[in-house]
Amino acid sequence: MMPIIFAVFGDMDSAAIAALTVARDCPRQYECGGVIYEDADHYYHVSAPLTSHKHFGVDIVQYGEPTPVGWRIVADYHTHICSPHNRLFANFFSPADAYVNQGFHTVGYMLSLCDGNVRRYDPAQDDRDDEVVHFTSGREIYLTCGHIAGWIDTSYPANATWKPVIGYESIVLGANPRTTGPDKTVSHASAKIGSTSARIAHPGP
C-alpha cells in the first residue's frame, strides 16, 4: 500500500499546498511528487512525496498502483528544481506534465523552487501551451503556465534532508485496494533549456 501523509483536507488546493510543502524538503537537485486522492466523502488525502532521482522529471507511480476502495486520484503534484539549466522554465508546466493531466483527467500542481509559487493546471479549465518561449536560434516552443494557487517559502536550506517515505504513517490501514490506472509508470518531465517568455493568445488545439 502506498504511504499516505497523516492528514485530511477539505479542498484540493489545501491538500496540494501541504503536500508540496513536504516535497520542498526533497534534495534540491531532484524533482519529487505524488498524488492527491478524493475519498467517498469528498475529503482529500495526499501520498507522501517520492523522488525518481532525476533532475528533470519524476515518475508518478501511483497512477499505476491500487487505491483504497472508494478513493480516486484527482490530482498530482511535483516540484521543479531551480538550476542554471532550467531557471527560465521552472515556472511552467512541461508538455509531459500537461499530457499526463489531460490523459488521466486530473489536475496538476507544481511548485517552482525558483519563485515559490504553487501553480495549478486543470485541463478542463486552463489553456494549454499559452506561453511562447523564444530561443536565440529563432526557434519557439509553447509551454503551459496554469494559474497560481498558493505560495511556499523556498528559501528553506538548499541542502534540506530528505525525509524517508517510511517515516510517514498510513491513515488507511487494512483498506481493500483496487487498481485505478494502467499498469505503467507515468513520468512528469521538465523543460531543461532557457530563454525568454511572453504571454500570447492560445494557439488552438
In a domain, 138, yes or no: no
Q: Rounded distance, CA 160 to CA 163, Å?
A: 9
In a domain, 175, yes or no: yes
pTM: 0.76
Q: Tell me the pLDDT tens digit for each residue of 123-181.
A: 999 989 888 877 667 878 889 989 999 999 998 555 444 343 333 332 332 233 333 34
What is the per-residue pLDDT for 3?
Answer: 58
Cell of 188: 512528469
Q: Which domain holds residue 158?
A: 12-127+145-192
Q: Do the beta carbons of residue 32 and residue 78 sit within 8 Å? A: yes
Cell of 141: 516552443
In a domain, 198, yes or no: no
Strands (E), 81-176: 107-112, 117-121, 131-134, 140-143, 147-151
In a domain, 59, yes or no: yes
In a domain, 37, yes or no: yes
Q: Which residues of the chain fall below pLDDT 70?
A: 1-4, 135-136, 156-205
DSSP, res 93: B
Q: Do the beta carbons of residue 106 and residue 37 sit within 8 Å? A: no
Q: Do the beta carbons of residue 45 and residue 8 sit within 8 Å? A: yes
Domain count, the chain: 1
Give which of 187, 175, 184 is closest to 71, Cα–Cα.
175
The CA radius of gyration of the chain, in Å to the nearest whole number, is 17
